[in-house]
Structure 1
């Protein structure tokens, strides 16, 4: 299986990470631009708040330095982006809020399935004739 590759973007303006540092455009080798596009400044803000700039840069550079196996940068940054997007969506509960909503949806679906399924007869053993 081929290792995942980061999304590619060509940006004229600075990504949210570079803009945070006051740059008007990204350097050609900006490793954060695919994950923090200019139109998602809140994603970067929450990621920086939760992980700190040093750790985010560490996640994005670990593979290049041989610290982590191929593809791990994409996976690490996908987790950072997921958690940051969850905070944008729900600043109080974040990813827990997403999980809670999914659990509630699952509970509703199970209840609906139980209403539409035939009731089990007895203890599951055939009745003696």
Structure 2
């Protein structure tokens, strides 16, 4: 998948980006922040993420990477609760709005 310049993951990890690089479609060279944050949160060893992607169907891999990026962003914002904290906050807002609607 790599053509010319290495993908963001290979560039950050200083690896040679091969044509069958599993990260190239999901972490393009022009979006290095996506890989950087996933790398920070999920660790230096990308073997777990590689294994996860290889176990999924090709159609599911994009959604899995999007989820990893989302979780990594939330984990950086809230190191304790991550996206669970954001979900809880939104659930509380929905409950409050439902109560306000019932009163109205």
Calculate the TM-score normalised by the size of structure 1. 0.58
Q: Which residue of 2 aligns with 1:39?
A: 33
C-alpha change, 1:14 and 1:74, in structure 2 (3 Å) is closer
Name the SS of the counterpart of 1:35 in structure 2.
coil
Please give the alpha-carbon distance, in whole angstroms, between the structure 1 residues aligned to 2:4 and 2:39.
16
Q: Which residue of 1 aligns with 2:43?
A: 48
For residues 51-92 of structure 1, what are the alpha-carbon distances to aligned partners after superposition, in whole Å with 9 as ceiling and x for unaligned? x521101122235xxxxx442323333332232222123222
Greater shift in the superposed pair: 97-106 or 28-37? 28-37
- Name the structure where helix makes up a greater proportion of residues: 2
User: Cα RMSD over matched residues?
Assistant: 3.1
C-alpha change, 1:28 and 1:71, in structure 2 (3 Å) is same
Which structure would you say has the larger Rg?
1
Q: Which residue of 1 aligns with 2:14?
A: 22
Does the 8 A contact of 1:87 with 1:95 survive in 2?
Answer: yes
1:96 and 2:76 are equivalent in the alignment = no
Structure 1 residues without counterparts, runs of 5 or longer: 1-9, 64-68, 117-129
Please give the alpha-carbon distance, in whole angstroms, between the structure 1 residues aligned to 2:25 and 2:72.
14
1:58 and 2:44 are equivalent in the alignment = no
